[in-house]
A and B are shown apart, each in its own frame.
Chain A
């Protein structure tokens, strides 16, 4: 729990760092999470962020808060997201602004596959936005995302890839369903195509 909280903080802070560091920083929690997912001994936090880095984080956290208030923005630093898993069970989590739903799911031990680790080369992090209003608040999917969605199981009118849905204030309260893949299994790719 502590690890998850601190990691979340790390990712949140990362976006306030110069851009060139962003990718590297925000990547770490994800890698750590997926490792845990496979029941290996969890890497200690200090292995991922060395000592000085942690201190830096703590310093930065106050800076972050100040920055936000200085900008006079009422924006929240994290939004509420609900994941509804294959069995209909709900997971309520907080997602820092700027973080993808794929990363957020992995940080919170929510089972969302991510075969290509967010590089837009697979369809395994497919989620269904449960309310059309929220779906309409998202940027339109790019051709590349749509190409991948073509191959997603249980595709719906409000399907997106979790790696392409990035937390922003308007999405506070969004509900995302993880499709029950096996239900649709026989529909697609099952019968060998005649040539």
Chain B
């Protein structure tokens, strides 16, 4: 096995020697999601002498395009074609199952490469910090998304969808809409997507018929986009409920909507849905989606019958308070209300996790940076961490769409180019780069998954999928994934 790894390493090396300038700019990108791949693509284009290695803790590339984008959004995943071409570029390599912080430390990586770009995103969750948050039946939306998308770390979530008919989703962003849609969409429609088979089986047996999407603020402040909203409003066999009084706007908010196209169009869609009569095709299995505005979660209620399980959420009603032009926050009114439910999904935002030796702004949940250049601390006159850069959610927080990373990567790469021109960043002394990385990982018995190993997983998944009329059947456990790369 080791022999094989060394042989492969040699292959990579000979390939790189044949096409590389004698002293290439060694670049390592940590994370192979959209931020990582767009960074690699821009880097290869702008710096002709750059050799770019992308490392990822998973054996599978593409980050949230694989484990975040909903299974019923195949068009959004087409960008994988573009990323695959980047990975196959002669000056680029992908190394999976390499974890920053355990396989290799940040300081070791910075020794090996001229440039290290951290693009590993946000793999944790913000918490509400309210009583009862650890009760059973309460999950973060991220965990639920990983579960239905076949992320190997989401396999054991096993959410209970059979003991209740009601789910409460906290948050009204696109992730909240995704999880609501997966819970409500007819499973016959999900069956032909690349949804994980364990999730499909659980959803087929699900007893959930009623989903509440709860936001602290109003329909004019909802964080979702029109595309996702239009889609869920148009689901088959679904009744939509929105309280019309919630749609009343203060002059201040109305004024703000005229200059915010996204929120205006979202508000218009919600208004239209609130006033249109429910279709009279009600069957017994009809499902319900309730948009609930102006409610702030106060605490979770423990079930009397099932010890340790959640049976509802206690909400405080809110009103808006203007805190600047076009900006409103939710203020509690002291009036409370309960929504009973057996499942709660918290969709209130992702959170990045720092690694050893990385400056981190815990308040903002990002790495302090100047247009992608990592700063040593958050104070005003902080110094640059030479050769260390960030891109994506780690740089700007967990918001935006796939394409946001395109511009984010352009910015980081142009900062790198500027630093090279100004001499702030030097590439004149040779660094070991890929050679050194593979040597070090080999010494530590870390088995590296190459892009061609991933292609084996990919073709196996497609093969399994085609027999079930799905575009792919994801290998959803570490064991299975490893089996096909051997």
Residues of chain A touching chain B, judged by Cβ–Cβ distance below 8 Å, are: 34-35, 38-40, 113, 115-117, 119-124, 143-144, 146-148, 150-151, 153, 155, 181-182, 185, 189-195
Contact = CB atoms under 8 A, between A and B. Distances in A.
A115 B409 CA distance: 15
B227 A181 contact: no
Contacts, number: 105
A73 B223 CA distance: 51
Contacts of A181: 406-407, 410
Given A116-B79, A121-B73, A121-B78, A185 B407 contact: yes
A75 B329 CA distance: 58
B406 A113 contact: yes
29 contacts: A34-B85, A35-B85, A38-B44, A38-B89, A40-B89, A113-B403, A115-B402, A116-B75, A117-B78, A117-B81, A120-B75, A121-B76, A122-B76, A122-B403, A123-B401, A123-B403, A147-B265, A148-B227, A150-B225, A150-B261, A181-B406, A181-B407, A182-B410, A185-B407, A185-B411, A192-B398, A193-B399, A195-B216, A195-B349
Contact of A193 (B85, B89, B223, B227): B223
Nearest to A119: B75
B78 A119 contact: yes
A162 to B, nearest CB: 13
B403 A151 contact: yes
Given A123-B403, A151-B401, A115 B82 contact: yes
A147 B226 contact: yes
9 A-B pairs closest in CB distance? A192-B397, A121-B75, A147-B227, A189-B400, A119-B75, A115-B79, A181-B407, A147-B226, A38-B85
Nearest to A123: B403
A189 B405 CA distance: 10
Nearest to A111: B45
Contact of B261 (A38, A113, A155, A190): A155
Given A34-B82, A115-B406, 4 more contacts: A121-B75, A123-B403, A147-B226, A185-B407
A115 B349 contact: no
B404 interface: yes
B174 to A, nearest CB: 10
A193 B393 CA distance: 13
A97 B149 CA distance: 41
A115 B84 CA distance: 12
B348 interface: yes
Interface string B345-357: 0001100000000
Contacts of B216: 195
Contacts of B90: 39-40
A34 B75 CA distance: 18
Nearest to A194: B329
Contacts of A34: 82, 85
Interface in B85-128: 85-86, 88-90, 126
Contact of B265 (A35, A39, A150, A185): A150
A35 B396 CA distance: 31
Contacts of A39: 44, 89-90
A100 to B, nearest CB: 15
Given A40-B85, A115-B79, A192-B349, A147 B406 contact: no
Contacts of B73: 121
B368 to A, nearest CB: 14
Nearest to B398: A192
B364 to A, nearest CB: 7
B85 A116 contact: no
Contacts of B85: 34-35, 38, 40
Contacts of A121: 73, 75-76, 78
B365 interface: yes
Interface in B30-57: 41, 44
Interface in B342-375: 348-349, 364-366
Contacts of B171: 195
Interface string B391-431: 00000111111111011101100100000000000000000
Given A40-B85, A155-B261, A181-B410, A124 B76 contact: no
